[in-house]
Amino acid sequence: MGYKIRSCFMLFFLFALLFAIINMIGWWLNWSLWLMLAITLIIIGFQYLIGPYIIGWIYRIDWIPFDQFKGQYPHLADIVDAHVRKFHIRTPRMGLIDDGNPNAFTFGHHKNNARVVITSGILQHLNKKEQASVVAHEMGHVVHSDFIIMTLASAIPVLLYVVARWCFFAGRSTTRGRDEKGGYFGLALLIIGVLSYFAYYFGYLITLLISRFREYYADENSAEMMENPNYLSTALVKIAYGLLEAQDKTSEMYKSKVHTLRSLGIYNKKDAKKLALASVGASGGFSQENIEAAAAWDLHNPWAKYYQVFSTHPLPAKRILALNKRCAEFNVKPEINLSRTKERAEEQAGKSLWDQFLADLFWLWLPSLVFISCIGFTILWIINLVFNYSTLLLGINILFFWAIGLNLMGLAVIARTLYKYRGSFQPYTIAELVTNVKVSPIRPVATILQGKIIGRGIPGLWYSEDLVVQDETGLITVDYRFGLRIVDFFWAIMRVDKLIGQNVQIFGWYRRAPTPYVQVNYILTESGRKFKNYSKHVTYLSSIIYFGIGLLLFWLAIAIF
């Protein structure tokens, strides 16, 4: 459910590229604002028309005739039929993606030509009620006409951006005129451009907010059609957090993993005890403690608040809380109790995580802070050069200053990389990782993960380079981003399918941003093959570039002055 926007990245990128090129041509040829807006609307309409066909093309979807779907999955067909009867819509086209990553999405032009897709992971890891609740959520998007609503909502910020860019271009051209009237008109256009750009940015944030509201609305539809909000809540625990209920084979898998850890020389009784109890609650089902700790990140880590603003979907814990509030309407008790999440967070991190959040921001922004400081000083130096306020500033060699600044930026990149890729690798289960409240996109846990690769990070997308791994406690995404898109692409098309189904050991860094994932250092397969990832090393390239330019400026400063 959380992949509908991200999975179409390449489609949106292509249309954004087309939009940028046409706008550059328009500004070069001095087209009118109305013509630019009209062309933009045509591009948006064209994307809306062909988008579903492109999605159907780039995904490996097995389309199933509804009669056959009804014979294979009657409990899912029943919930679809219930929506068709209640909302008087056409039966959507049903698709299945053969991938162990539990997920679902819907797309189309309008409610009467919708496509609803689920993965085999939904059928494997969710019980029948949970499966039906997920389909009911997707059908909620269909009956609420979210395809059209989100297209219209997304169009408004794009149009505001066109207005802003046109005003900037026209304003600069007009202010070059000699008459006073033309100068005032150009200044007015520049002001309108600035206001339009701010409106575009806030419009974009409002669009994301609308998307999150539509997700809540679809959740409500699921609760009403299932007459029990708990089914979707427990489904979210499995899909969003990757936490699974204890199975009968847990003890066998546990013994297998202990044997593997012992052969690696990393087995000890403490780890074995944690492994045995990782996801099993008192009833043998979900561990309430683990769910509380996993949800505590969503509700109490400051990073979650940051990501929520820029997310198309509400955080899973907030969706579960909203579903819990509706339980009283159906005379059921909430099955997922999140009342103790704050206590779980405090057990790990004390009263507040804000100090760690601020430290993370400092290291994350350190190279940018150095660069901004250099820019600020340069502006002061230029102002002083024009108005001659201080002889002290005039005596500073600006090339020498930037040479020092660039070398400091190179050191800042190295410091940030060391902060981001720290720790010694230790064995963890997925449940132990997901329940860590202190992690962030830059504050990792160095981990050794033992499990089976069951699917792609974006199920069905043939060029998705990420993986999904399952152990006896849950599922988690494994991020293989190399740092160069061309390398990621060839990894996706040449290696990923061959790795699916294999038992592997993954050495990497667990992060959360906001979805839990493990960034790969290297993958070790059953056959002993080792797939190294050099994303950490790629980050050092920018520091080398900074050092190189800095040394060049040193040489120029000495040669000129």
- Convert the pLDDT of each residue in 230-275 to its tens digit: 999 999 999 999 998 654 443 343 344 433 333 333 333 333 333 3
What's the CATH code of the domain at 385? 2.40.50.200
Active site residues: 138
Separation CA 488–CA 507 (nearest Å): 18
- Same domain flag for 367 and 335: no
Could you give the number of structural domains in the chain?
Answer: 3
Of the residues 299, 328, 348, which one is the last residue of a structural domain? 348
Percentage, residues of the chain above pLDDT 90:
59
- Same domain flag for 185 and 284: no
Which range is least confidently modeled, 196-200, 204-208, 505-509?
196-200
CA torsion sign for 314, 317, 319, 321 is: negative
Separation CA 264–CA 505 (nearest Å): 10
Q: Note the pLDDT tens digit of each residue in 47-100.
A: 888 888 988 888 999 999 999 999 999 999 999 999 999 999 999 999 999 999
Q: Is the peptide bond before 367 cis (omega within 30 degrees of 0)?
A: no
Of 138, 145, 333, the residue nearest 235 (C-alpha): 138
Dig out the tokens for 553 from the structure: 């400026």
- Same domain flag for 52 and 149: yes
What pLDDT, on a 0 to 100 scale, did the predictor assign at position 30? 65
Q: How many Cα atoms are found within 13 Å in the side-chain-facing hemisphere of 80? A: 26
What is the DSSP annotation of 370-428? HHHHHHHHHHHHHHHHHH---HHHHTS-HHHHHHHHHHHHHHHHHHHHHHHT-S--EE-
Q: Are strands 104-107 and 62-64 parallel, antiparallel or unpaired?
A: unpaired
What pLDDT, on a 0 to 100 scale, did the predictor assign at position 158? 86
| Residue 273 located in a structural domain | no
Residue entry with tokens 């902060």 = 419
- Same domain flag for 318 and 424: no
Name the CA radius of gyration of the chain, rounded.
Answer: 27
- Same domain flag for 366 and 498: yes
Of 262, 354, 343, the residue nearest 296 (C-alpha): 343
Q: At what angle do helices 535-560 and 398-420 cross, to 10 degrees?
A: 170
Domain that holds residue 207: 1-239
Q: Note the pLDDT tens digit of each residue in 408-448.
A: 999 999 999 999 999 999 999 999 999 999 999 999 999 99
For residue 462, the Cα-to-chain-centroid distance in whole angstroms is 18
The phi and psi torsions of 525 (rounded to 5 degrees) equal -90, 175
Give bridge partners of residue 469 from the DSSP assignment. 453, 476
What pLDDT, on a 0 to 100 scale, did the predictor assign at position 15? 54
Q: How confident is the model at residue 141 (pLDDT cuts 50, 70, 90)?
A: very high
Separation CA 527–CA 67 (nearest Å): 43
| Residue 254 located in a structural domain | no
Q: Note the pLDDT tens digit of each residue in 324-378.
A: 999 999 999 999 999 999 999 999 988 889 999 999 999 999 999 999 999 998 8
Collapsing DSSP to helix, strand or coil, 245 comes out as coil
- Same domain flag for 363 and 315: no
| Residue 213 located in a structural domain | yes
What pLDDT, on a 0 to 100 scale, did the predictor assign at position 267? 33
- Same domain flag for 318 and 364: no
For residue 113, the Cα-to-chain-centroid distance in whole angstroms is 28
Check residue 111 and report its DSSP letter: G
Helix, strand, coil distribution of the chain in percent, nearest 5: 65, 10, 25
Give 77's contacts (C-beta < 8 A, 6+ positions apart): 66, 69, 70
Determine how many CB atoms are found less than 10 A away from the CB of residue 106. Answer: 24
- Same domain flag for 74 and 171: yes
What's the CATH code of the domain at 180? 3.30.2010.10
| Residue 453 located in a structural domain | yes
- Same domain flag for 192 and 49: yes
C-beta separation of 506 from 449 below 8 A: yes
- Same domain flag for 436 and 358: yes
- Same domain flag for 307 and 418: no
Q: Note the pLDDT tens digit of each residue in 122-134.
A: 999 999 999 999 9
Give 286's contacts (C-beta < 8 A, 6+ positions apart): 234, 237, 243, 245, 279, 336
Collapsing DSSP to helix, strand or coil, 468 comes out as strand
Q: How confident is the model at residue 276 (pLDDT cuts 50, 70, 90)?
A: very low
Q: How confident is the model at residue 186 (pLDDT cuts 50, 70, 90)?
A: confident
| Residue 260 located in a structural domain | no
Give 446's contacts (C-beta < 8 A, 6+ positions apart): 422, 423, 424, 425, 426, 508, 509, 510
Q: How confident is the model at residue 24 (pLDDT cuts 50, 70, 90)?
A: low
Record the pTM.
0.84
Q: Note the pLDDT tens digit of each residue in 361-374.
A: 999 999 999 999 99
Of 113, 141, 107, 151, the residue nearest 8 (C-alpha): 107
Determine how many CB atoms are found less than 10 A away from the CB of residue 425. Answer: 17
Of the residues 239, 266, 299, which one is the last residue of a structural domain? 239
C-beta separation of 232 from 323 below 8 A: yes
| Residue 272 located in a structural domain | no
Torsion of CA 280, 286, 292, 293, to 10 degrees: 40
| Residue 178 located in a structural domain | yes
Of the residues 188, 217, 239, which one is the last residue of a structural domain? 239
Dig out the tokens for 88 from the structure: 């008087």
- Same domain flag for 362 and 502: yes
Q: How confident is the model at residue 195 (pLDDT cuts 50, 70, 90)?
A: confident
| Residue 480 located in a structural domain | yes
Check residue 422 and report its DSSP letter: -
